[in-house]
Amino acid sequence: MTTQANDLAVDVRGLRKQYGDVTAVDGIDLEIRTGEVFGLLGPNGAGKSTTVEILQGNRGRDAGEVLVLGSDPATGTRAWRSRVGIVWQDESAPAELTVGETVRHFARYYPRPRDPEEVIGLVGLEAKVDSRIKALSGGQRRRLDVALGVIGDPELLLLDEPTTGFDPAARRQFWDLIRKLAGEGTTILLTTHYLEEAENLADRLAIVAKGRVVAEGEPAALRERHGTGATVEWTEPDGTPRAEHTDTPTKVVAELMHRFDGEIPGLLVTRPTLEDVYLRLTGQEDVR
């Protein structure tokens, strides 16, 4: 099936960005379909933030074609900007203002904003509407950042490492929020270091390493495609644990059955996890 150009919220071909001697983005292609949650997953320094900044129109590029909601971000108009929601890292909203004041204030920048009270509810900050920003926890602060990112009712939301520094409970609450926004039809691009986050949220993801996309697709399909073989583990009669990596696990198990003449002690057959695939593709196998 070919994707129509107008089904794409983001269409990137051959993107390159150099900082002096450092090649941050080395020929990235990306297609993000309207309505999907897309994860850009990769280790530190892979080029994720640079890519997102270029999509936001906040950073120039050295080469490549980039269309975001049909426009080149480098020449994006004010009307285009109002259709793209950006969740800034370390948003510098005035600390003395309350949550309610801040969201209502930002709403005035947009031609067709969402209702501020509804957005505060959406991000789960109803109880904090009269709290000053400086009194919010890190996770609540991040929710406010998302509220400011969606107050203009964007078609596309760009989130750069939205949950870095969250505790596990805050991360899960944040995932619910992203799913809610996706359920309303917002196209979402998020970058993350966390494989679990990408696997839980993303309809499709691209794994980036050293400025290149090394794999792309639905999480389950990536595991299928790149996670070859299986590991068969068992225990020998003298108690020695054994493991064999193989492309034909059924054959190995059949041979073991024959040798043991029935039950195989400690039998375990495992396929590579997406984490194994990710670590291999990003050249981090040794960290396990």
Tell whether residue 42 is a contact of ligand ATP (CB under 6 A). Answer: yes
Q: Out of 9, 24, 55, 205, point to the residue binding ligand ATP (CB under 6 A).
A: 24
Tell whether residue 44 is a contact of ligand ATP (CB under 6 A). Answer: yes
Tell whether residue 22 is a contact of ligand ATP (CB under 6 A). Answer: yes
Tell whether residue 49 is a contact of ligand ATP (CB under 6 A). Answer: yes
Tell whether residue 114 is a contact of ligand ATP (CB under 6 A). Answer: no
Least distance (Å) between residue 45 CB and ligand ATP: 4
Least distance (Å) between residue 53 CB and ligand ATP: 8
- Assign 3-class secondary structure to the chain: CCCCHHHEEEEEEEEEEEECCEEEEEEEEEEEECCCEEEEECCCCCCHHHHHHHHHCCCCCCEEEEEECCECHHHCCHHHHCCEEEECCCCCCCCCCEHHHHHHHHHCCCCCCCCHHHHHHHCCCHHHCCCEHHHCCHHHHHHHHHHHHHCCCCCEEEEECCCCCCCHHHHHHHHHHHHHHHHCCCEEEEEECCHHHHHHHCCEEEEEECCEEEEEECHHHHHHHHCCCEEEEEECCCCCEEEEEECCHHHHHHHHHHHHCCCCCCCEEECCCHHHHHHHHCCCHHHC
**Contact map string, positions 196 to 215, toward ligand ATP, x by CB under 6 A:** --------------------
Least distance (Å) between residue 193 CB and ligand ATP: 6
Tell whether residue 8 is a contact of ligand ATP (CB under 6 A). Answer: no
Q: Out of 9, 30, 32, 46, point to the residue binding ligand ATP (CB under 6 A).
A: 46
Least distance (Å) between residue 264 CB and ligand ATP: 43
Q: Out of 15, 31, 38, 47, point to the residue binding ligand ATP (CB under 6 A).
A: 47
Least distance (Å) between residue 19 CB and ligand ATP: 3
> Toward ligand ATP, which CB reaches closer, 30 or 99?
30
- Which residue ranges make up the site for ligand ATP (CB under 6 A)? 19, 22, 24, 42, 44-50, 193
